[in-house]
Amino acid sequence: MNKKILILAAAVVMMASCGSKTETKKEMNTLSFNNEQAVCMSAIACNEAKADYAALSQALNEGLDAGLTVSQVKEALSQLYAYTGFPRSLNALGTLQKVLEQRQNEGKTTLEGEDATPLPSDYDALKQGTEVQTQVSGRAFDYAFCPAEDYYLKAHLFGDIFARDNLTFADRELITVSALSGLENVMPQLQAHVRGALNMGVSEAQLRAIPDALEAKGLLSEAQRTRAAIATAVDGKTDVAYSSSVWPLGEPNTAFAQYFVGNSYLAILDQSGLCNVTFEPGCRNNWHIHHGAVQMLVCVSGRGWYQEWGKEPVELKPGVVIAVPEGVKHWHGAAKDSWMQHLTYHTNVQPGNSTEWLEAVGDDQYSAL
């Protein structure tokens, strides 16, 4: 009798243990990468999108050294076919194969990782994908203009692909944002996935670390593109007409922030004093005067304004060059709906030259432009 009771008790314990294991699910709305791995994964995804396979090879090695598993990297490169196309995805996977072969020959440690958990036999990709897409978008989304594309998005991308749990939802959105940063003319999609990343569990700090990671890997225009998307999608800036640039964003222009309305960024390009200044939408500097020097402005991207005291404003577009006369009161900055970058340097520099900062350009005056 006692023996039967013990057997029955053991069976109950085993059933309870199996039940708890079955009910345990991977937390899909949390980034699974540590900080170093997230930096590497952003570089991997961006270089895949750019089809820069030499840079991708380096990024893959750095990511595997940082502890990313082969399973995670394969999954990331496979997912990206939905965003960057099969050719880039397949070529990137081919690059990964070569990297793995080289690492094996060199005796380097590589973690294989676990594959995705098999889906149940009654898995409904369309139903699950619709739920995931709604979470990513923050609302129900139906692409009525093209029902076939709507089905592919729901059932295949957000259903079949996102259901594979060797990457979390948050992982996938970090990968997607990083990849879209490497593509030109997809700003609406990049902005949407910036919001989607937050909806799927990427923290704001982790999101803002993506452009920092890209910049650290030398992907300067891609980092700037991502910051522009974040400025619009998260910070509520006006729509960004500027979306790509070969010129670096630089660092926040904190030393002169008191003389600017809005945020600007400064990149020192060489020791001669040549700089690139980036203005976010709506940003402009105060009225000011250069004493003992002529300032040169060369607009290189976006759209903005230059104005001298008592004169009509001049629109700044790529290729417009302004020579600011010595001693003339003026201001310059971005348009309300566009980022703007200009190069700046000084000529005819006299001993004791200085800049006299004056009043801000009023909102009414600026809004009337």
Residue range 260-310, pLDDT digits in tens: 999 898 999 988 889 999 998 889 999 999 999 999 999 999 899 999 999
Bigger pLDDT: 39 vs 17: 39
Give the pLDDT mean for 5-19: 43
Tell me what percent of the residues of the chain surpass a pLDDT of 90: 77
Number of residues that make up the chain: 369
Torsion angle (degrees, nearest 10) of CA 210, 216, 219, 222: 30
Q: Please check whether residue 110 is in contact with residue 103, taking contact to mean a CB–CB distance below 8 angstroms.
A: yes
Which numeric CATH code is attached to 251-367? 2.60.120.10
**pLDDT in the model for residue 295:** 97
pLDDT bracket for residue 14 (50, 70, 90): very low
A 10 A CB-CB count for 63 gives 25
Q: pLDDT of 44-79, one tens digit each?
A: 999 999 999 999 999 999 999 999 999 999 999 999
Return the number of other C-beta atoms located less than 10 Å from residue 170's C-beta: 23
pLDDT of residue 281: 84
- In sign, the C-alpha dihedral spanning 123, 125, 127, 133 is positive
Q: What pLDDT shows up at residue 225?
A: 84
Q: Please state, in angstroms and rounded to a whole number, the distance separating the CA atoms of residues 228 and 19.
A: 47
The Cα-based distances of 282 to 3, 207, 285 in angstroms read 81, 23, 10
Q: What is the pLDDT of residues 304-342, one digit of tens each?
A: 999 999 999 999 999 999 999 999 999 999 998 788 999
User: What are the residue boundaries of the structural domains of the chain, listed by start?
Assistant: 35-116+164-233, 251-367
pLDDT of residue 249: 76
For residues 212 and 11, which has the higher predicted lDDT (pLDDT)?
212
CA 185 to CA 243: how far, in whole Å? 7
What pLDDT score was predicted for residue 25? 55
Q: pLDDT value at position 82?
A: 97
pLDDT digits (tens, 9 = 90+) for 227-254: 888 988 898 765 444 445 678 778 889 9
- What's the topology of domain 35-116+164-233? AhpD-like (1.20.1290)
pLDDT given for residue 11 in this prediction = 44
Q: Which two tokens stand for residue 252?
A: 């926040």
CB-based contact 259:286 (threshold 8 Å) = yes
At 10 the pLDDT is: 45
pLDDT for residue 64: 98
For residue 157, list its beta bridge partners: none
213, 39 Cβ separation under 8 angstroms: yes
pLDDT tens-place string over residues 49-58: 999 999 999 9
Whether 35-116+164-233 and 251-367 share one fold: the answer is no
Nearest to 334 by CA among 309, 368, 298, 306: 306
Report the interhelical angle of 204-216 vs 169-180 (nearest 10°). Answer: 40
Tens of pLDDT, residues 173-220: 999 999 999 997 788 899 999 999 999 999 999 999 999 999 999 988
Flag whether pLDDT at 24 surpasses 90.
Answer: no
Q: pLDDT tens-digit profile of 121-146?
A: 999 999 999 999 999 999 999 999 99
